[in-house]
Structure 1
């Protein structure tokens, strides 16, 4: 189980990330490269991951670290998993829907999660057995609860990109799910999972994920009752 200081650490790391991403978002000199899997990475992604790694080494030197950009050690009793910018394509195009995802995984189970989206002026966070919370702008924190929808025919469904379904799973299978639901959209990435935690969306479906995509949002959704 996480200690009270673990969530405080994650929130402080999110503040650190927000300062970096906020300064680089929509900057004219943003540097963009292509990774081997042909997905983009910016200098902001790399700077955030490096800054969080350094801060954790100073604050919690015994903990492991695993980041999307530089990897690390995914196994161990306590490992921090970080996606420096979830939604890099949005970030580099100037779309404000992106976030830093920070999770503490203990013995294979995510126990602390923070999702910080400074361009949207919203943050979501949770710790195991402590509930899930969000804050918009300067408003006070509010508890999160998933919706009470319990029939697929009444469900609001979201995915990230329809084009990834034939690549990693089955477009036909996803379209059958769409047809079975009340409504569908593609809010994408971290946002759809946080919307599930808020009870705004009922299902967030992905054909494939990586640990850094879901470790933080899993805690938030589960602590919100999902």
Structure 2
């Protein structure tokens, strides 16, 4: 039986047809994946991500089906794929899911063709994406889109207004315009949520707090280089539960929520392009590691330079390759570790496996929060230099699996 002939099947028909081998479970899965995709691919992007697993499990189910096979056994094998769009509690109750957890737009009701007699209300067997609140992720994507649109208007503009802040770091009209816009959007969507940004500070008090850096990498932005981004994080009860980095000049976006994995996708979104999951492998000895450190020595205190120098001396490779023990104000400014990497933040170099560790010093919460879940969901680790998971101590150490404690020990004073 071909896919076109399966379209009329109701919720109970596939079970009997599979048992009698008139149609295979693979054909049923394939047809329903195609039908969902034909309505709106964005609604079921996670189904697309897991399509291969779903089809493989369906193949295993076909092998298991026999006259004496029990529905529950077959369904259990298919559910093991983790991404099936059909089945409720048994094979005889095959149905479409009427809502879907997915990576692009969060939880969404599927369109009306999936509702009505014979289809029921599908019950997801474990949330495919594992999101704690997919509505927040969908909002973060909208905020990132908004920031990207504003940033593009200013990027490489001939008369970009810039000035130096009290700490000597640059700020542009774009930084301020983005932060104002995102704060207004948060106020509209969640009036009771708090907000803190690099340019205008904290607003409100709540157990939910959005932490933003309108343009991280302002110097690169001013120079017309692509390694800059908007950092968006959500903190709940003191724990960062969402992180997103949107880099429109690189055409990339990274995001993560606890328990969902870390992902990289196109910026802006292209529903036809699957996001890629970031997965780190276990590291080895910190002495063989490559580490990025930022900012350069002239912008560090004497204590910070000593910490950076110990890590640089104790690892195999350091980016940038400098004498971290001294500050030479006449030296030309070095390139930051992410330059030319296709990334825009040192922590993302860790999450993508391009370096083994990254130390960020003199940082605010807005520089750190968004990348914490991305690194951790990829399999890496984060802490400040005392080993605490805090964003308010000015230091952040990100490392691949198995290296974190070694590097913390290395960073400690020899005394």
TM-score, length-normalised on structure 1? 0.93
Go from structure 1 to structure 2 and tell me whether the alpha carbon gap of 1:128 and 1:168 turns closer, same or farther (over 3 Å shift): farther
Which position in structure 2 is the counterpart of 1:221? Answer: 375
Residue 74 of structure 1: how far off its partner (Å): 7.3
Q: Structure 1: which 4+ aligned runs deviate by more than 4 Å?
A: none
Q: For residues 142 and 85 of structure 1, what CA distance do their matches in structure 2 show? A: 24
Q: State the distance in 2 between where 1:19 and 1:63 align.
A: 24
Out of 287, 298, 301, the position equivalent to 1:167 is: 301
Q: 2:289 aligns with which of 135, 146, 155?
A: 155
> Which deviates further from its counterpart, 28-37 or 107-116?
28-37
Distance verdict in 2 for CA 1:37–1:172, change over 3 Å: closer
User: What's the offset of the Cα at 1:171?
Assistant: 2.1
Q: Counterparts of 1:181-192 in structure 2 under 5 Å?
A: 181-186=315-320, 187=337, 191-192=345-346
C-alpha separation in 1, matches of 2:309 and 2:168: 26
Q: TM-score of the superposition, structure 2-length normalised?
A: 0.52
State the 1:161 CA deviation: 2.3
- What is residue 148 of structure 2 aligned with on the other side? 18
Q: Tell me the equivalent position of 2:164.
A: 34
Tell me whether 163-172 or 55-64 shows the greater mean CA deviation.
Answer: 163-172
Secondary structure of 2:345's partner?
helix
Query: Which ranges in structure 2 are unaligned for 5 or more consecutive residues?
Result: 1-130, 321-336, 381-415
Higher relative contact order (CA 8 A, sep 6+): 1
Q: CA RMSD in A?
A: 2.0
Which one is further off, 32-41 or 87-96?
Answer: 32-41
Could you say which residue in structure 2 is the equivalent of 1:54? Answer: 184
Aligned counterpart in structure 1 of residue 253 of structure 2, from 119, 123, 130: 123
Do the aligned partners of residues 168 and 44 (structure 1) sit closer, same or farther apart at CA in structure 2, a change above 3 Å counting?
A: farther
Flag the structure with larger Rg.
Answer: 2
Cα displacement string for residues 153-190 of structure 1 (whole angstroms, at most 9, x for unaligned residues): 22110012222564263323322211221212131595
5 Å-filtered alignment, 1:4-153, equals 4-73=134-203, 75-136=205-266, 139-153=273-287
- Deviation string 1:37-60 (CA, Å, 9 cap, x unpaired) is 222110000010011011111111
Aligned residues: 226
Give the superposition deviation at 1:86. Answer: 0.4
